[in-house]
Structure 1
Amino acid sequence: MNDLEAKAARQASVVYTALSLAITLIFLIITWVDGNTYTAVARIGGMVWVFILSMIVFMPIVIPAVKKKIMG
């Protein structure tokens, strides 16, 4: 892996992790404001589930986009 590929991989990992964390935070906020009472286990389990699924979705979208942007 050359330097540009390594840079693209690092940048892509930061982007898709940040997006997944943002979606997870939105999920947490929704569980607080929707009026239902959720247990801590339900919130934490939901957050883990949302984070994992969003990582699965964002990885194949973000990696090629960042590689194309950095490598030309």
Structure 2
Amino acid sequence: MQKMWRVVVTIVLIMILIGIVGIAVGFLTGADTARIYQTAENNNMVNLIMRYYEWIIQVFNTYKAALLGA
């Protein structure tokens, strides 16, 4: 069990390191912090779930209109 946690922690630390390196390269190449934040904000899980929910509602309304002739 301890070996499994060591692997999990190692993977998480590597992912954090890759993220830090990516942001550092972005700053070195003249990236705007607002753009980095906007990219992270647009791709978070809550936004994805909300877009999926809105898509489902739109499909449901389309089928309802087609079936009921409304």
Structure 1 or 2, whichever has the larger Rg, is 2
TM-score of the superposed pair, with normalisation by structure 1: 0.47
TM-score of the superposed pair, with normalisation by structure 2: 0.48
